Amino acid sequence: MTYTKISLCDGKYKIVRNDDNYQFECLRYDEKWRDLTGDKMLWALVDHVVNLRVALHRLLHEDMQNDITAACQQAREALGET
């Protein structure tokens, strides 16, 4: 089963989307609050948030890899191995 979950307001609200059966709801304090099934605008908004999170993760990972590569290069230079 594929779920997308987004937590908002320090966990007060949670948007839960089941991509297998298209159930879509909002929880408030972990209790069912609103049925969002059929709300295409909110579905698109969840997709947008997920895509932004993926892009941010990739950027952070790439930045970490660049930092590691730079640190290794500095270490090689310090050891005279360039």
Who wins on pLDDT, 35 or 74?
35
pTM above threshold 0.85: no
Kindly state the tokens that stand for 27: 């929880």
Say which residue the tokens 């909002």 belong to: 26
| pLDDT of res. 18 | 93
Query: pLDDT digit string (tens) for 15-66?
Result: 999 988 889 999 999 999 999 999 999 999 999 998 888 888 887 788 778 8
Enumerate long-range contacts of 14-21, CB under 8 Å, 24 or more apart.
15/42, 15/46, 17/43, 17/46
